[in-house]
Structure 1
Amino acid sequence: MNKLSDDDIEKKLLRFPDWEYYENALHGEFEFENFKDCFSAMSRIAFECEALNHHPNWSNTYNVLTISLSTHDADGVTNKDFLLAEAIENIVEPDEE
């Protein structure tokens, strides 16, 4: 995977309003109703990470999940980070039908 340019990242971020780009990574913070819901989302995200073979830096404090995405091999953000961000979005904020 090739590292994306800052311009490419900013364009792609238009589709991801819950994410920011700084310090060479994508950053998102998600708040849940309680710890159980947060941990449940983290468990589901973990399966997506394994499927993509791409693992975030993340932490949670009670009901808040903080995630940082970058591709270490590329020393920056790649399309792989955006694929994982999209999967995370689908888990934490599923489309309401």
Structure 2
Amino acid sequence: MKKLSEEEIKQRLSTLNNWKYENNKLTKEFKFNNFDDSVNFLKLIQPTADALDHHPDVCIYYNRVIIELTTHDLGGISDLDFELAEKIDELSTHVKS
């Protein structure tokens, strides 16, 4: 696994839905109806993150969940971050709102 260049990140970012690249991380805010939905969203992410052995940094603010992805071992963004971002987007559609 290699750290992606700034150019590679910008190209790949266009394939994601509303993710941002800032402070060497892929970041996205998800909004749900309530705190329960936010927690359930994280419960959906957990098995996928464990399977990939790649875990996001997460902040919950009641009905908002902020996800940050980076590959700490590489000090930047890798293919794994993009793979997990795609899976997280897919999982977000399964939260009952």
What range describes the TM-score normalised by the shorter chain of this pair? over 0.9
For residues 42 and 84 of structure 1, the distance between their equivalents in structure 2, rounded to whole angstroms, comes to: 13
C-alpha deviation, 1:17, in angstroms: 2.9
How many residues were matched structurally? 94
Which one-letter code corresponds to 1:13 in the other structure?
Answer: L
Query: Percent of pairs identical after alignment?
Result: 38
- Does 1:22 find its partner at 2:22? yes
Q: Can you list the C-alpha shifts for 1:68-88, whole angstroms capped at 9, x where unaligned?
A: 100001100000000100110
- Structure 2 length as normaliser, TM-score? 0.93
Which one-letter code corresponds to 1:81 in the other structure?
Answer: D
RMSD: 0.9
Query: 1:9 aligns to what?
Result: 9
- Structure 1 length as normaliser, TM-score? 0.93
Which one-letter code corresponds to 1:88 in the other structure?
Answer: I
For residues 59 and 46 of structure 1, the distance between their equivalents in structure 2, rounded to whole angstroms, comes to: 14
For residues 71 and 47 of structure 1, the distance between their equivalents in structure 2, rounded to whole angstroms, comes to: 18
Q: Can you list the C-alpha shifts for 1:43-83, whole angstroms capped at 9, x where unaligned?
A: 01011100100011111010100011000011000000001
Q: How does 1:1-97 map to 2 (within 5 A)?
A: 1-93=1-93
Gapped regions of structure 1 (runs ≥ 5): none
For residues 59 and 44 of structure 1, the distance between their equivalents in structure 2, rounded to whole angstroms, comes to: 15
> Runs of 4+ in structure 1 displaced over 3 angstroms?
none
